[in-house]
């Protein structure tokens, strides 16, 4: 289980790398990662790492 939490933490920390581009492209990438960020944060806090 600790490895799943670790993997979820690493994925959470890597999310900013997925926000690329300028203007509307950057906004679109930011919105796409927002949902995943919330899923990962919830999974880590609840120790339910099935999202990872």
pLDDT, one tens digit for every residue, the chain (52 residues): 678 889 999 999 999 998 999 999 999 999 989 989 999 999 888 876 555 4
**Residue whose C-alpha is closest to residue 12's, from 51, 20, 31:** 51
Given this model, what pLDDT does residue 28 score?
A: 92
Answer for the pair 12, 51: CB distance below 8 angstroms, yes or no: no
Given this model, what pLDDT does residue 52 score?
A: 45
Answer for the pair 50, 41: CB distance below 8 angstroms, yes or no: no
Q: How many CA atoms lie within 13 A of 5 on its CB side?
A: 7
Token pair 């919830």: residue: 42
Given this model, what pLDDT does residue 40 score?
A: 92
């Amino acid at each position: 289980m600790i490895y799943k939490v670790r993997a979820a933490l690493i994925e959470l920390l890597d999310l900013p790398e997925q926000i690329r581009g300028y203007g509307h492209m950057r906004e679109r990438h930011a919105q796409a990662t927002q949902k995943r960020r919330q899923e990962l944060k919830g999974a880590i806090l609840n120790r339910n790492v099935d999202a990872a």
